[in-house]
């Protein structure tokens, strides 16, 4: 593959880009594939953001897009670059048996699905990291600093209304404040394992979106948030687009069992996820309807009503956490799914990660 200036990429980069389970394609046409979207698709904090709140197009990435893995594993897939059989690590080790290796970044999105799907985006640094830069601080800092700075921007480029409504036009979050992140940093790589199942609300949204994954086109950008004037403007680390992914196309990787805590997601009752998806869908659907009489029918075309979905969700939560419902938290037709979320988050301990 040629760069914009006509030069060819090194062979090892070509291998990483082309040997994954789904192909690298053009951004405007990448069904069941991945691509690198333009940086200007994302809005970041501009040079005067602290005083004006003005954002600017993201522009050029700090890192080069390297590869994408769509995998399915028997247990939660983490610390991928520490594994000797990881395809990216094997390519790098083969290409650089001695001497300095390129610095690889990996963002591993661990999806809260029963079959442990992961979407892993890889990037490579093409220039030395300046001493004292935000990237340098991120790599040398502690997890508290990383959790307070690593930012995700998500765009739903194409997809059904219900998913776009759930995510918003452009979802922005500090990942470590919303989700559990594990940072694996060594001399020549930085990996962030992002456990989407650690947030009940995020789990509900992803579970909803996964039902439409073969029709979705999603852009994800990663950056380190600028919080002082000297750190502005923000710069994107890198971004990936995946489009219309087919679950059957995921590479199956056999992993040794990591224990029940690593695979708790797979042991949750199936009806919990069904209730989450139905309840969240109904919640969004109600917001889109014009005001008017509300049907009290229990089932419509075989689909449970929101009251029933909410009730099932609460019952599952009580069973998993061995909680006896009290009058304040007992299932009732008047309580919404969002109220259930708030109730769940107030219970210690929470087992719905």
* Confidence at residue 7, expressed as pLDDT on a 0 to 100 scale: 52
- 127 CB-contact burial (10 Å; exposed 0-12 / middle 13-18 / buried 19+): exposed
Q: How many H-runs (helices) and E-runs (strands) does the chain carry? A: 12, 15
Query: From CA 168, how far away is CA 323, in angstroms rounded?
Result: 34
Calculate ∠ Cα 308-312-314, nearest 5°.
115
Who has greater pLDDT, 98 or 41?
41
Structural domain spans, the chain: 11-253, 268-287+301-346
pLDDT computed for residue 224 by the predictor:
98
Tokens 């600017």 correspond to 56
* Residues linked to residue 158 through DSSP beta bridges, in sequence order: 217
Percentage of the chain lying above the pLDDT 70 cut:
70
pLDDT tens digits for 18-61?
999 999 999 999 999 999 999 999 999 999 999 999 999 999 99
The 10s digit of each residue's pLDDT in 51-70 is 999 999 999 999 999 999 99
Task: Please give the backbone phi and psi of residue 245, each rounded to the nearest 5 degrees, phi first.
Answer: -65, 135
Query: When comparing pLDDT for 184 and 5, which is higher?
Result: 184
Q: What is the pTM of this model?
A: 0.75
| pLDDT of 258 over the 50 cut | no
What does DSSP assign to residue 224?
A: E
Q: Please report the pLDDT score of residue 8 as a whole number.
A: 83
Over the range 81-119, which residues count as b (16 or more CB within 10 Å of their CB) and which as e?
Answer: beeeebbbbebbeeeeeeeeebbbbbbbbbbbbeebbbb
Nearest to 65 by CA among 116, 149, 4, 111: 4
Contacts of 207 (CB under 8 A, 6+ apart): 112, 113, 273, 276, 277
Would you say how long the chain is, in residues? Answer: 353
Range scoring the smallest mean pLDDT among 153-167, 191-205, 210-224, 277-291: 277-291
Average pLDDT over residues 71-92: 94
- Alpha carbons 135 and 102: distance in angstroms, whole number: 16
How high is the pLDDT of residue 165?
Answer: 87
Is 242:34 a contact under the CB 8 Å cutoff?
A: yes
Residues contacting 119, CB < 8 A, separation 6+: 68, 69, 70, 108, 109, 111, 242, 245
């Amino acid at each position: 593959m040629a760069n914009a200036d006509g030069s060819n990429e090194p062979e090892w980069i070509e291998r990483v880009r082309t040997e994954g389970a789904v192909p690298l394609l053009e951004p405007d046409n990448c069904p069941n594939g991945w691509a690198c979207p333009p940086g200007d698709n994302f809005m970041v904090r501009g040079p005067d953001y602290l005083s004006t709140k003005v954002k600017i197009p993201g522009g050029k990435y700090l890192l080069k897009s390297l590869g994408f893995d769509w995998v399915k594993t028997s247990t939660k897939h983490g610390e991928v670059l520490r594994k000797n059989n990881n395809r990216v690590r094997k390519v790098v080790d083969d290409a650089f048996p001695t001497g300095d290796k390129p610095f690889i970044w990996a963002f591993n999105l661990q999806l809260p699905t029963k079959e442990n799907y992961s979407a892993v985006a890889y990037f490579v640094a093409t220039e030395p990291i300046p001493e004292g830069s935000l990237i340098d601080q991120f790599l040398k800092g502690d997890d508290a600093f990383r959790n307070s700075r690593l930012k995700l921007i998500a765009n739903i480029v194409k997809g059904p209304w219900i998913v776009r409504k759930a995510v918003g036009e452009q979802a922005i979050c500090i990942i470590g404040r919303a989700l559990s992140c594990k940072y694996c940093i060594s001399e020549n790589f930085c990996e962030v394992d992002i456990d989407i199942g650690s947030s009940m609300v995020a789990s509900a949204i992803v579970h909803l979106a996964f039902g439409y994954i073969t029709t979705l086109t999603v852009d994800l950008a990663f950056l380190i948030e600028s919080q002082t004037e000297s750190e502005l403007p923000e710069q994107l680390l890198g971004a990936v687009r995946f489009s219309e992914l087919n679950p059957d196309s995921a590479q199956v990787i056999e992993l040794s069992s990591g224990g029940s805590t690593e695979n708790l997601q797979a042991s949750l009752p199936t009806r919990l996820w069904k209730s989450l998806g139905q309840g969240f869908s109904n919640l969004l659907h109600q917001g889109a309807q014009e005001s008017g009489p509300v049907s009290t029918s229990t089932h419509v075309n075989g689909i449970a009503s929101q009251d029933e979905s909410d009730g099932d969700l609460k019952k599952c939560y009580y069973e998993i956490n061995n909680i006896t419902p009290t009058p304040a938290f007992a299932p009732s037709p008047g309580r919404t799914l969002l109220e259930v979320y708030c109730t769940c988050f107030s219970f210690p301990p929470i087992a719905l990660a």
